[in-house]
Amino acid sequence: MSINEEIQDRGIRHMVWLERYKTSTANKILRLLNKADGDLIEKLASRLAKIEDRGFDLGKDTTERLKALQKAIREDRRAVYAVLYNETKEELFDFAVYESDFQAKIIEAPAEIDLVRPSVTQLEAAATSQPFRGRLLREWYSGLETSAAQKVSDAVRIGIVEGETTDQIVRRIKGTRARQYKDGLLEASRRDLQTVVRTATAHVADRAANDVWMVNADIIKGVKWVSTLDGRTSPVCRQRDGKIYEVGKAPAIPAHFNCRSRTIAYLGEFKTKGTRASSGGPVPEDTSYGDWLRKQPKGVQEEVLGVKKAKLFREGGLPIDRFQDNLGKSYTLDELKKRDSEVWNRVFK
């Protein structure tokens, strides 16, 4: 295996870890929002109970109470999203430092060289001072805050004007237990938050790696775009997969929200600290995520998919996209059994 192939292999393996880290980070921030949403629902129920007039013709007192409640909603969401922003920022600060060091190490070991590390200040800037998808992290959170406050405020006003009870208004905002509260309007805010956190994490990972490559451009000759090729891969990422770009000239990642692509360092001819010339070898052949996973040891496959799913993958010949739905959610074993009963019965008979 050439040096370039070894770097690619390590880089793709790291992509698996990164997707898990994105999910873990998004869930961590989401737990804070869920707690704040619970507090908001309690406050809403209490204050709505004091608004007795319902319907189109509201009295002066009710109108004033409704205005005060809407103001309180905006203040609540402002405070909540300020906390979420700070938590995300601190998490991504630490991650940027870790990621840059890791990207350097997966090159240093096979190439037997030492790379320069970017400064902490430079890495922190990736989290807060560089835009992704057209906005800075703070601006994305400001948009989330405004949207969430508007949704809740509109639901309260509509409910009051249409003569709904407090329970009906709260149910529309919170959702129902029967549907695990996925049918409440707060669910949209949760999905939006998860998307922003996952996309921000991909952005910081890309910037941290590029900072390493930029300060070592005398050694790193290019970067290769690697996309997770399955049924959910976007057209733009499919088109870019496998392309080699000059350092600093590759299209920015994320290419879109929830982007799973990465760029991986490519070494041409280079010299180590001594005088020995070394070659990174040819550009690695195009390798999809599924192709890469099939070449991995059984233990790696089981770490990624789980024991039974890995066996289906190996022995059933199922492509990697069969293990997730269109939104990227992993199917349970029972769901896989129903969807691929013939393969399941052949492998586990």
Give the Cα separation of 111 and 97 in Å (integer).
22
Q: Mean pLDDT throughout 154-165?
A: 90
Structure-block tokens of residue 117: 């590390």
The residue that leads in pLDDT, 221 or 32, is 32
The residue that leads in pLDDT, 314 or 78, is 78
Give the Cα separation of 222 and 259 in Å (integer).
21
The pLDDT assigned to 230 comes to 65
Predicted confidence (pLDDT) per residue in 64-79, tens digit: 888 899 999 999 999 9
Question: Partners of 127 in the beta sheet?
Answer: none
Angle at the Cα of 5 (from 3 to 6), degrees rounded to 5?
65
Give the Cα separation of 200 and 209 in Å (integer).
14
Predicted confidence (pLDDT) per residue in 119-133, tens digit: 999 999 988 999 999
38 pLDDT more than 70: yes
Confidence bin at 33 (pLDDT 50/70/90)? very high
The pLDDT assigned to 298 comes to 85
Q: Where are the alpha helices (DSSP H) in 58-185?
A: 60-111, 120-128, 137-161, 166-174
The residue among 342, 91, 102 whose CA lies nearest residue 201 is: 91
- The verdict on pTM exceeding 0.75 is yes
Predicted confidence (pLDDT) per residue in 203-220, tens digit: 999 999 999 999 999 889
Confidence bin at 13 (pLDDT 50/70/90)? confident
Distances (CA, A) of 251 to 124, 289, 321, 322: 21, 20, 25, 29
Give the Cα separation of 223 and 2 in Å (integer).
16
Which of 120-124, 198-202, 267-271 is predicted with the least confidence, judged by mean pLDDT? 267-271
